[in-house]
Structure 1
């Protein structure tokens, strides 16, 4: 079986779970041709593994910008006028309101023509998309032009802020199946789709490889955050809680792994608050480097305002780290409060400070939570198991009668 995998950017340092999923599908005997709308910037390629993936990925926008390639794709598509016109009508029908929305969807249509031509040349039999926003619009249109089934993985939470804009209802209606990363994600898909489409909403977790993660030397003074440095992650709340926690634990340090639009402002804040020696900005790191950092820290903190089921929490739990996270989205499907970590209300700096002090002040508690977290990941969130379930969906369509997931520990 040969399938095409489409994302907005692939591979990317912040989306290594997609890379693991692709590897897992290939191990299941499925040929996966990776496609990306844009080329990934060098700053997002960390490690030889990602650079090798980038080298063999088909990039849509550079092909659209090539006049000869675009012309060949258009001629190929227009030789199938019924599909071409249906896709064009679909692009018009699903465009956001206003001239800008129409223009963007016509651009997505052009991208879809090129992608459909590429898939036809490569003998692709199914198209799958990750991140159900603009790249999924391209996938939906390309599937119509090529006459192929398509599916997508629904993450969230950002798409749930504007589901009408991205026509989530239409995408679900036309998909062969939808891989929802959590019960929360599936519930939102149910809300925004016709009841007749609910059976095609399947839960496929993003998984990790527990064997990558080990436990190193830990002394109860080192916190770590891993994620994109932008508003949704709530890092200013973490800095407030961290600064106050240092009053009780003067040797406390914090490592921020990742990058993003808020980095400069956060660095300035850290300096202004006299925390420059205690807060380390580590930038993007490879999977292996993140695993090494998790091994030598004492707790991972994720103070997000909105999340799906964060893969970084799975990675930390695989490394036997207690996690401190906000009770948003699907976090509670992964973290059991008081067992594998602590959950606090989003935006509550005082509660976050108290959780940090509770976890770092009790070595036995950290050990128990780390052990419990590792067990959850090993039984419910392994990349190999989830890739196998996804492979069955690709092979059998959306019909998997009688399949049940293992019970959660909560």
Structure 2
């Protein structure tokens, strides 16, 4: 099977465990996978020893490019042996830059990095390059492919890249890619807005996934709410804290645990104290996957009231753990959760609807249990990481 290189901006990373599972799945079906990262992830963003070990096995582009002999040697190689390709790739880099001199400078940095990565992939006899996320690292992947001739593909998640589609030249990236892995039908439809219709057949649905058996589903009888994710505005953690305040009259014993970290943590801790909820709210920071699984097993209801999303893998994890899930009706989430059957979907930003859905889950334990069982079955059937990795492998093997 083809030897594959994986590229993203930071690998590994606590919020990107789904990429690790995808790589494990490709290796399990017979691919050799070389992991590459543009930058070295800060230790504070690694979940523990397993990710530290994975980082040690990963090749870092910028670190290699900072060595003058490596950088100059890579560009001299292509200028000497493939001068036309080198100039064409430089032109591509300039043509696909965002507006402004600063953006052009960054794009030229990506061009410099691309030659270093291309030379590395050639030495490693890599036959296919796959990139996760369609922003900066995908610029490098596109340029690397143009310079080396190695086919590339990328996984598009959204929503941020769709907000700035012209900046990221999604049509050009799609045109040059062997295929594009879309995490949902919604993501595919958004990319179809920008891609040439001639390239629509390249857009393949490959879900992110989980290992369902890694999560236990014990019955619970409390009023423990759980949030797992970055503590940033777009994930809605402040709205959830306001919902807990609203629940105080009917469920004074309800508690809320935040697993994750981010720029809003201090403000959330302050708000919890100011609203008299400090004794009922815990902030655990980043946790390794096994601790997240334990937190899910201990929770009664999982809530992610995001304002913008792709298809959050943490929802799949909560569903695999048999938890009742309350989340926003946005983007690809309805493809994962059927409202009232495998979870509750509420309008994004609607405090009243969010509070009512949480109230219903806490008050009707039988209904919550039935939704948790249905959620677990759905994830096992349609979002198993190994099944999705086999789909991706088939697309890679067919790529030319």
Asked if TM exceeds 0.5, the reply is yes
Q: Tell me which moved more, 194-203 or 239-248.
A: 239-248
Matched, 1:321 2:337: no
Q: How does 1:46-65 map to 2 (within 5 A)?
A: 46-65=47-66
| Equivalent position of 2:23 in the other structure | 22
SS at match of 1:301: strand
Question: Are the aligned partners of 1:233 and 1:303 in contact in 2 as well (CA < 8 Å)?
Answer: yes
Q: Aligned partners of 2:125 and 2:75: how far apart in 1?
A: 18
Q: Aligned partners of 1:306 and 1:88: how far apart in 2?
A: 35
Question: Are the aligned partners of 1:220 and 1:361 in contact in 2 as well (CA < 8 Å)?
Answer: no
Q: Aligned partners of 1:42 and 1:220: how far apart in 2?
A: 35
Matched, 1:218 2:220: yes
Q: Aligned partners of 1:150 and 1:380: how far apart in 2?
A: 26
| Equivalent position of 2:183 in the other structure | 181
Q: Aligned partners of 2:217 and 2:341: how far apart in 1?
A: 18
SS at match of 1:248: coil
TM-score (normalised: structure 1): 0.95
| Equivalent position of 2:247 in the other structure | 245
Q: Aligned partners of 1:385 and 1:46: how far apart in 2?
A: 25
Q: How does 1:96-175 map to 2 (within 5 A)?
A: 96-175=98-177
277, 296, 299: which one aligns with 1:297? 299
Q: CA RMSD in A?
A: 1.0
SS at match of 1:153: strand
Q: Aligned partners of 2:219 and 2:47: how far apart in 1?
A: 25
- By how many angstroms is 1:85 displaced? 0.8
Q: Aligned partners of 1:107 and 1:294: how far apart in 2?
A: 42
The number of aligned residues is 398
- By how many angstroms is 1:47 displaced? 2.6
366, 375, 380: which one aligns with 1:373? 375
- By how many angstroms is 1:216 displaced? 3.4
Q: Aligned partners of 2:267 and 2:123: how far apart in 1?
A: 47
Q: How does 1:249-268 map to 2 (within 5 A)?
A: 249-268=251-270
Q: Deviations over 1:253-292 (max 9, x none)?
A: 0111111121122222222222111111111111111111
Q: Aligned partners of 1:365 and 1:310: how far apart in 2?
A: 23
| Equivalent position of 1:401 in the other structure | none
Question: Are the aligned partners of 1:306 and 1:329 in contact in 2 as well (CA < 8 Å)?
Answer: yes
| Equivalent position of 1:9 in the other structure | 10
Question: Are the aligned partners of 2:255 and 2:281 in contact in 1 as well (CA < 8 Å)?
Answer: yes
266, 289, 302: which one aligns with 1:287? 289
Q: Aligned partners of 2:219 and 2:184: how far apart in 1?
A: 33
- By how many angstroms is 1:217 displaced? 5.5
Q: Deviations over 1:277-322 (max 9, x none)?
A: 1111111111111111100100110100011111011000000001
| Equivalent position of 2:278 in the other structure | 276
TM-score (normalised: structure 2): 0.98
| Equivalent position of 1:345 in the other structure | 347
Q: Aligned partners of 1:342 and 1:216: how far apart in 2?
A: 20
SS at match of 1:165: helix
- By how many angstroms is 1:68 displaced? 2.1
Q: Aligned partners of 1:57 and 1:355: how far apart in 2?
A: 43
Question: Are the aligned partners of 2:304 and 2:327 in contact in 1 as well (CA < 8 Å)?
Answer: yes
Question: Are the aligned partners of 1:224 and 1:294 in contact in 2 as well (CA < 8 Å)?
Answer: yes
Q: Aligned partners of 1:311 and 1:121: how far apart in 2?
A: 34
Q: Aligned partners of 1:77 and 1:285: how far apart in 2?
A: 44
SS at match of 1:82: helix
Matched, 1:336 2:344: no
Q: Aligned partners of 1:85 and 1:246: how far apart in 2?
A: 65
- By how many angstroms is 1:55 displaced? 0.5
SS at match of 1:277: helix
- By how many angstroms is 1:397 displaced? 2.0
Question: Are the aligned partners of 1:220 and 1:363 in contact in 2 as well (CA < 8 Å)?
Answer: no
| Equivalent position of 2:39 in the other structure | 38
Stretches of structure 1 that go unaligned for 5 or more consecutive residues are 399-410
Question: Are the aligned partners of 2:151 and 2:399 in contact in 1 as well (CA < 8 Å)?
Answer: no
